């Protein structure tokens, strides 16, 4: 592995959790491998490793964008990541509420339901 890929994978694991990344890697097929590599290098390597914003802020932005786009599965994954990056349940709710005004109530309503479910899960053990 290259140093850049190692750094990208370290951030991906820190934000999404080792278990999530292991599941994603286990599900990777020859067909999906190029896309998984793209996610790792573009999102986790080129963006999440940049110094201009901290991970907490990146998580807040990501939740707002995913809510606006209605990306249900990604919202759950990134609510967990936001908690790992130090956002509180109250801050997550405020992000979703704020996004609802600009992206639409139905999208925010769905995101609230997903976040509520995730926030009701038992806390993860730190790795």
- One of 3.30.70.100, 1.25.40.20, 1.20.1290.10, 1.10.1040.10 is the CATH number of 54-126, namely 1.20.1290.10
What is the pTM for the complete model shown? 0.88
Contact 92, 82 (CB under 8 A): yes
Q: What is the mean pLDDT of residues 10-26?
A: 95
pLDDT tens figures, 34-80: 999 999 999 999 999 999 999 999 999 999 999 999 999 899 999 99
Residue pair 12/24 in contact (Cβ under 8 Å)? The answer is no
pLDDT per position as a tens digit, 92-122: 999 999 999 999 999 999 999 999 999 999 9
Q: Residue 85 carries which DSSP code?
A: T
Which pair of structure tokens corresponds to residue 69? Answer: 């786009």
Q: Considering the chain, tell me which residue range(s) the CATH 1.20.1290.10 domain(s) occupy.
A: 54-126
Contact 55, 48 (CB under 8 A): yes
Task: Assign 125 a pLDDT band (cuts: 50, 70, 90).
Answer: confident
């Amino acid at each position: 592995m290259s140093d850049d890929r190692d750094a990208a994978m370290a951030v991906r694991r820190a934000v999404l959790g080792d278990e999530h990344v292991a599941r994603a890697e286990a599900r990777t097929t020859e067909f999906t491998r190029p896309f998984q590599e793209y996610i790792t290098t573009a999102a986790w390597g080129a963006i999440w490793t940049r110094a201009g914003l901290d991970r907490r802020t990146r998580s807040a932005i990501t939740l707002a964008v995913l809510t606006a786009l209605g990306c249900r599965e990604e919202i759950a994954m990134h609510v967990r990541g936001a908690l790992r990056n130090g956002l509180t349940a109250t801050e997550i709710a405020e992000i979703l509420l704020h996004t609802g005004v600009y992206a639409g109530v139905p999208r925010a309503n769905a995101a609230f339901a997903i976040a509520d479910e995730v926030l009701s899960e038992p806390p993860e053990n730190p790795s």
